[in-house]
Structure 1
Amino acid sequence: MAQNDLDELYGNDLIRDHNRNPRNSAKLNSPDLVADAVNPFCGDEAHFQINLDGQGRVSEVGYEGVGCAICRSAGSMLSEVIKGHTLEEVEEISGLFQDMMFGVEPSEEQAALLGDLTSMTGVRAFPIRIKCALLAWSAIEDRISEHQRRQP
């Protein structure tokens, strides 16, 4: 059964597509926020550059991921989902994704906010891989917290 679950997970079209064709892979010239995270145990890396518009909404994202398909796909999906949202909304979406990864089913409205990230529910069958899916969010959350502490 575990092998079938694994085959299904990696056979997921969205995960496979985001892994092979990561979104927002262009680097930004002068990003407002830079967020990086590395998992020292497996070598996964997530690197983000984010620009904010005049209303504090994410206007542009640059993303580079190194490592397994789950890590790269989750980072690519994140780079799409956060566009147009304020940093506070990004934190809310992050919480929804974390809850989903630990078994809380999102409502229809929450699933709409999560977008392609809902395709990651299959990762829950492999608890050790949940860290892979959450690495990108860890980078973003840490940087948002630091940014908010520096605001007057």
Structure 2
Amino acid sequence: MSGMQDSLRELYQEVIFDHNRNPRNYRLLPAANHHADGHNPLCGDQLTVYLQVEDGIVRDASFVGHGCAISTASASLMTEAVKGKPVAEVEALFRDVHALLTEGREATDPARDFGKLEVLSGVKEFPARVKCATLAWHTLHNALVGEHETAHTE
């Protein structure tokens, strides 16, 4: 493995561990006007995503639940990434992150700057864990569109 790949793997692990140990926005959101539940029965991940959407902008985002390190870190990174963004931009980000995690960088908008979310692309090395990383994003999508069925990644 090249030095660059080693560095990326180390960064991936460091960010996942940090966001798992200290998840951002892990709380109930009393002002939420959108929410949805997500469940990955294969590894037991369960979460609820809460959104406060006003004037077409995601003003605040949070989550509660339990899951593996990748699931928790992905939800933490996601809630940070969507705050303050217009709903249409959040939906486009959902599509690009899903493509990044399932198909790779070449399947995403070339102009997309993923910022910290880029680290999630490391999950592609572990195909069985992709569903852990996408659960929060499917749940976010359901919350945005008002889908009240539980999001599943089975």
Q: How does 1:47-58 map to 2 (within 5 A)?
A: 47-53=48-54, 55-58=55-58
Matched with 1:83 is 83
8 Å Cα contact 1:46/1:64 also seen in 2? yes
8 Å Cα contact 1:65/1:71 also seen in 2? no
Percent identical: 33
Higher share in helix? 1
1:104 deviates by 3.0
User: What is the alpha-carbon distance in structure 2 between the residues aligned to residue 69 and residue 15 of structure 1?
Assistant: 7
**Pairwise CA RMSD of aligned residues?**
2.3
Matched with 2:27 is 26
| Matched letter for residue 102 of structure 1 | T
TM-score, structure 2 normalization: 0.80
What runs of 5+ residues in structure 1 fail to find an aligned partner? Answer: 148-152
Aligned length: 140
Superposition misfits of 4+ residues, deviation over 6 angstroms: none
Q: 1:41 aligned to 2:55? A: no
What runs of 5+ residues in structure 2 fail to find an aligned partner? Answer: 148-154
Shifted more, 99-108 versus 128-137: the winner is: 99-108
Higher relative contact order (CA 8 A, sep 6+): 2
8 Å Cα contact 1:65/1:75 also seen in 2? no
Q: Deviations over 1:20-64 (max 9, x none)?
A: 1100123211311112101122110121111123x2101111212
User: What is the alpha-carbon distance in structure 2 between the residues aligned to residue 45 and residue 9 of structure 1?
Assistant: 27
